[in-house]
């Protein structure tokens, strides 16, 4: 019995020393036009701060590839040459564009990165008090159609077949950046962390005390309350799309800033969609798509991808979820 007691004490002391040998550092800053929070767990503060620097550099690198706001990025050049000629881009940009088109095909166009070409007839700053005309809504999406995005993988080019078209990665770009930063730090031996890209986040490892990360999903109908807490021992990604922060309210009805690319109408019916899965890029694609598809079609879509979990909150506060 005494021997057992000594072994147990030794194990406890060893565990305590192991936990104390890890520290956590957090940095908050603006990247990709959004608020990022980068949390890193490593063996000492110097290593952790250097890891955060590397994550920032990776996120900045991706922004410099895919931003449609910076005039000299590859995506800006693609947009500038719409209806004129194909533009050579990095293989990484080709693959991300293919991922976006895959979601367009899965959802019959409910997801579409060419939505950025839509005329700005909706305002989500509280100033709208009446609907745009039906003709202006239909006209607003005249240059939106993913089927006019032509990818040449052999020559690594993207061509937008119609003049006036544009593409942008606001729907999945931040999730992709979170995934890439996580991969970079994991491969360099960083013990754990969270890359939080304005609510689209990727995690790995554990907290310094060995506990799993706990991620709360906000309940937009109960200020300061969460609809669920997500815990998982393996690495996960969590993304949320919603209308509770940015919307127009007309005649008592809420219209989301997430627009249906097929008809130019804001999505209705769902206030927020959270998707949990192995990568934030795909989770982001699903959460955005479900906001447009609505509850019934969104749930049907997710049944085809059992590796992803979800939590939907309707405009009336009803919670629909499939979570482990």
- Tell me whether residue 48 is exposed, middle or buried, using C-beta atoms within 10 angstroms of its C-beta: 0 to 12, 13 to 18, 19 or more: buried
- Residue 136 has φ and ψ, to the nearest 5°, of -70, -30
Bridging pattern class, strands 226-231 and 214-218: antiparallel
DSSP secondary structure code for residue 246 in this structure? S
Smallest CA-to-CA distance from 35 within 44, 43, 26, 23 is with: 26
Neighbouring CB atoms inside 10 A of 124's CB total: 17
DSSP secondary structure code for residue 69 in this structure? S
288 marked ligand binding residue: yes
User: Which residues lie across from 217 on neighbouring strands?
Assistant: 228
Distance CA 51, CA 29 (A): 15
Contact 42, 51 (CB under 8 A): yes
Distance CA 280, CA 96 (A): 13
**CA 313, 123, 162, 113 torsion-angle sign:** negative
Q: Which residue has the tokens 């992709």?
A: 176
* Tokens of residue 77, six digits: 């050049």
Smallest CA-to-CA distance from 52 within 147, 230, 185, 210 is with: 185
- Residue 80 has φ and ψ, to the nearest 5°, of -65, -25
Smallest CA-to-CA distance from 172 within 100, 225, 117 is with: 100
198 marked ligand binding residue: no
Distance CA 258, CA 287 (A): 11
Binding region:
171, 288
Binding region for Mg(2+):
171, 288
């Amino acid at each position: 019995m005494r021997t057992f007691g000594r072994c147990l004490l030794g194990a406890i002391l060893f565990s305590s020393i192991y936990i104390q040998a890890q520290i956590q550092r957090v940095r908050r800053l603006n990247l990709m036009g959004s608020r990022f929070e980068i949390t890193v767990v490593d063996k000492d503060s110097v290593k952790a701060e250097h890891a955060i620097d590397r994550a920032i550099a990776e996120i900045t690198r991706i922004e410099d590839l895919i931003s449609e706001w910076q005039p000299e990025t590859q995506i800006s050049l693609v947009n500038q040459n719409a209806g004129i000629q194909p533009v050579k881009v990095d293989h990484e940009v080709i693959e991300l564009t293919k991922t976006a088109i895959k979601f367009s095909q899965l959802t019959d166009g409910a997801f579409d990165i060419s939505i950025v070409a839509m005329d700005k007839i909706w305002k989500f700053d509280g100033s709208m008090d009446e609907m745009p005309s039906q003709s202006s809504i239909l006209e607003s999406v005249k240059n939106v159609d993913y089927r006019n995005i032509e990818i040449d993988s052999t020559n690594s080019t993207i061509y937008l077949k119609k003049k006036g078209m544009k593409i942008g990665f606001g729907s999945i770009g931040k999730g992709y950046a979170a995934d890439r930063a996580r991969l970079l730090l994991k491969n360099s031996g960083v013990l754990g962390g969270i890359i939080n890209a304005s609510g689209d986040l990727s995690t790995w490892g554990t907290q310094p005390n060995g506990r799993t990360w706990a991620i709360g999903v906000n309940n937009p109908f109960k200020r300061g309350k969460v609809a669920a807490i997500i815990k998982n021992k393996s690495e996960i990604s969590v993304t949320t799309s919603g209308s509770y922060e940015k919307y127009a309210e007309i005649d008592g009805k809420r219209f989301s800033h997430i627009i249906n690319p097929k008809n130019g109408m804001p999505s209705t019916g769902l206030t927020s969609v959270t998707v949990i899965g192995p990568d934030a890029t795909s989770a982001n694609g699903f959460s955005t798509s479900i906001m447009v598809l609505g509850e019934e079609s969104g749930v049907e879509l997710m049944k085809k991808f059992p590796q992803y979990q979800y939590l939907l909150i309707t405009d009336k506060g009803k919670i629909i979820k499939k979570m482990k």
